[in-house]
Amino acid sequence: MIEEGDGPKGGPSDVGQLRLDKWLWFARVVKSRTMAAGLVEDGKVRLNRERTTKPSQSVRVGDVLTIAVGPRIRVLEVAAIGTRRGPASEAQALYVDRSPPMTVAPAAPPASGERPSGTGRPTKRDRRQIDRLTDPD
């Protein structure tokens, strides 16, 4: 009798592991599985401190993933292997976030002559005051 899970794709040795790109997609680290595979192939993912470039690398419970996504470095410990890409609450149950807190960089002072963002063009009153300052009368 053939039991469910036996065979070349779902053999008993595959229990408790999942492809890296698929897990990243299930955990909603990226929007698509193609993007997950690209992230791994670009060398932006480390599995247990070792860089991996194979999206087919197996992930197991307890593995630690270090992922460079945009300007952030995320450190995720695999808490569960997902069975589907579900809602965000289900995705967050797949990992424990061990990322260091993000520090906010101090804002650079505006260059001379620049206005703060959102102030727009000078009003008629502002232009008159500028004219008074610059006129030699």
Tell me the pLDDT tens digit for each residue of 25-38.
Answer: 999 999 999 999 99
Confidence tier at 2 by pLDDT (50, 70, 90): very low
Count of domains observed in the chain: 1
Average pLDDT, stretch 89-99? 93
Confidence tier at 49 by pLDDT (50, 70, 90): very high
Average pLDDT, stretch 100-116? 68
In a domain, 55, yes or no: yes
In a domain, 130, yes or no: no
In a domain, 87, yes or no: yes
> Which CATH number do you get for residue 51?
3.10.290.10
Rounded CA separation 54/62 (Å): 19
**Gyration radius (Cα) of the chain, Å:** 26
Dihedral sign of CA atoms 21, 46, 35, 42 in order: negative
pLDDT at residue 4 above 50? Answer: no
Confidence tier at 15 by pLDDT (50, 70, 90): low
Q: Tell me the residue range of the domain where 59 lies.
A: 12-97
In a domain, 44, yes or no: yes
